[in-house]
Structure 1
Amino acid sequence: MAEHAHIDWLRERLRASLAHEAKDASELISWLEARRKQVPFSAELIPLREVAGWRQADNGNISHTTGQFFGIQGVRVKSAPGLREIAGWDQPIFTQAEGGVLALIGRETSGHGVEFLLQAKADPGNVGYLQFCPSIQSTWENIRGLKGARRPSFAECLEPSENVRIVYRAKHNEEGSRFWQKSNENMILFVRDATGLAVSEEVHRWASLSQIKAMMLLDNVVGPYVRTVLAPL
């Protein structure tokens, strides 16, 4: 019930914010387009046998030489009649020991109302490469700093404190047609004072819920995880 109270509190703050928060997202879109031109990033499809750092076992399974990241195995599916299009099939599927965190950080100011911190994140499969993603989008391995991984920005906000209110946290299944029993922890974190956050103007932008909704109507601007994190609101 405490979590519901936090969600109701944020919903009320969003209703109050609606009267004066920014609605026009054109400046954010222009910034993203400029960053796409400025940031050196390229990706191309290559044969699996040429992929460096990955290996194929005798049984055909594919994994990274360090044992990190994900693996690729096969899955055999049997379905009850009428539940799916066919009664069964085989396919490759991604496997991973544990999921990660998808978190949006929010703040409220007198001049701009409620805003959420987005990061322009580059992924090789994105159209346009850079898309607006949650404030924190990371595996637990990186968050814990395991095996020399660099901790993501704002990882310190994942625990409640005098400055951080956890509005909600819930595990959501990654797309089950491609990932084997993988869940990500979705979170909204609200900070009373955001001045201490290490916000980089080259990576991060604050955006109102109205601006985010406007950008969601455009092609390939907002990543899918932003939508899932905001859905409970």
Structure 2
Amino acid sequence: MPLTTGPGVLRHTDSTLQARLARSARATGGVATSPEQFEKWLAERRAAQLHEVNRVPFAKLRNWSFAEGSGHLVHDSGRFFSVAGLRVEVDEGPVRQWSQPIILQPEIGLLGIAVREIDGVLHLLMQAKAEPGNPNGVQLSPTVQATKSNYTGVHQGRHVPYVEHFAHADPRTVLADVLQSEHGAWFYRKRNRNMVIEIGPDVEAGEDFCWLTLGQVREQLRIDHRVNMDARTVLSCLPGIATADGSLHTDTEILSWITSNQAVHDVDTTVVGLRDLPGWHQSDRAITHEDGLFFSVIGVDVVANSREVGGWTQPLIEPYGVGVAALLVKRFGGVLHVLLRARIEPGYIDAIELAPTVQGTPENHAHLGGDVHDQLIDVERRRGTDRVLFDAEMSEEGGRFYHSRSRYMIIEVGDDHPDEEPPGFVWTALPQITWLLQHRHYLNVQARSLIACLHACTD
């Protein structure tokens, strides 16, 4: 059956937007692409995309070197990113000051999903994309996922497909457009432009691309390492219901609570030299913490046949252990609320961002004790006593992190969980979170991933 398109380009003021998104979310069986066709396409893309990644000594990194003086690990072009040192002092937590390597990437990346109507149903143009740090190679990615250096051709490689639709988007076609942070523990003030735009019927899916309904994409979220971090953060920014009847707090109260936490916390960060960074050891193959915890900086050599360039070398962050990111949710008067936490991380632009109820790597907190350690134990206990809405292992950003894995969970707690909000926590209705995500730097990337998953469980 030939594909047909519906009405013209969608405006962000279109009063039917929610109905159109809801219809797409209900179409889990597919319209343009059946589940069987999708699995066949994904298997073919995985077989076709060569992506060989080997660890190499730093001396074998082509066009990378340690800068004189600072010792920063930098690219010869002065673009892409660099690895520097960071000195941190904070006013709470079991550790109040430390030093660490951190990624400096001042460029604003572009993460964009294009949508179009096919047979009366909105479809998302998703990409099968391999990243050097992915534990399983190809994952489902946004239509466009590129740094500014990439899509402006600094690497002198192939053109980034579809990027022109986002770089020169007519504002009337934009459904979402917001700057959001990346991992504040490993990036220093890094931001990406998260976009969703509607395109016309003349745009077709290329070989590594596939049209899927919102419902189909949300189904893929439940499969381990299937939907990458960049797609999850863009999905979380889709517009939703703007108000919440029956919420515990007004929108103004939520904003005041966030602003208060941003104002009262002291976070002092200073970029310092990577050489002789206190607590870290540098060998010819890695920069590691003296306790063997947290993460390491390594070098890799990549050969690829599906990227803008056929091969390159680069540094990657290799985390230690499998992280945990868990949301506790509870219904108050029948209205679903999420328990979010004000979390300090050294790479945030503001002092805090809203994070999952529990976020941390158990091995890193075992020797520290403190509230995060206790919360990690509690969330594991609740997996056996409360209603688990979502539980899957997902990868973090494969372009900068090597086999970075986190277990994402959403647990609906029972009456035994207190209604009271501990210091630094706030119960927030889901529509309020959707509203906050139309604005920059309120929710961190782990929380955004979980909100995308929560919509898959509840919409």
Structure 1 and Structure 2 fold alike (TM over 0.5): yes
> Bigger radius of gyration, 1 or 2?
2
Is the aligned partner of 1:206 residue 2:211? Answer: yes
Structure-2 separation of matches of 1:147 and 1:123: 16
Q: What is residue 47 of structure 1 aligned with on the other side?
A: 57
Is the aligned partner of 1:33 residue 2:43? Answer: yes
Alignment of 1:1-233 (within 5 A): 5=13, 9-18=16-25, 20=27, 22-23=29-30, 25-58=35-68, 59-81=70-92, 84-110=93-119, 113-146=121-154, 148=156, 150-158=158-166, 159-161=168-170, 165-191=173-199, 193-195=200-202, 197=203, 199-201=205-207, 203-233=208-238
- State the number of aligned residues: 223
Identity of matched residues, %? 29
Q: Structure 1 residue 106: deviation in Å? A: 0.4
Change (3 A) 1:88 1:26: farther
- Maintained 8 Å contact 1:101/1:140: yes
* Aligned-partner SS, 2:175: strand
Change (3 A) 1:221 1:210: same
Change (3 A) 1:80 1:154: same
Q: Structure 1 residue 60: deviation in Å? A: 1.4
Structure-1 separation of matches of 2:76 and 2:204: 33
Q: Structure 1 residue 9: deviation in Å? A: 4.4
Q: Structure 1 residue 37: deviation in Å? A: 2.0
TM-score, structure 2 normalization? 0.45
Structure-2 separation of matches of 1:128 and 1:18: 27
Change (3 A) 1:139 1:20: closer
After superposition, the C-alpha distances for 1:152-206 in whole angstroms (9 at most, x for unaligned) are 11122123349x7111100001111111111000000111x232x36312x1011
TM-score, structure 1 normalization? 0.86
Q: Structure 1 residue 125: deviation in Å? A: 0.5
- Maintained 8 Å contact 1:25/1:215: no
* Aligned-partner SS, 2:198: strand
Change (3 A) 1:187 1:218: same
Q: CA RMSD in A?
A: 2.3
Q: Mind listing any 5+ residue stretches in structure 1 that lack a counterpart? A: none
After superposition, the C-alpha distances for 1:206-231 in whole angstroms (9 at most, x for unaligned) are 11111111111001111111111111
After superposition, the C-alpha distances for 1:61-102 in whole angstroms (9 at most, x for unaligned) are 110112121000000110103xx3311111100001212100
Structure-1 separation of matches of 2:25 and 2:190: 36
Structure-2 separation of matches of 1:66 and 1:51: 14
Q: What is residue 247 of structure 2 aligned with on the other side?
A: none
- Maintained 8 Å contact 2:72/2:82: yes
Structure-1 separation of matches of 2:158 and 2:52: 22
**Quick one: higher RCO (CA 8 Å, sep 6+), 1 or 2?**
1
Change (3 A) 1:43 1:9: farther
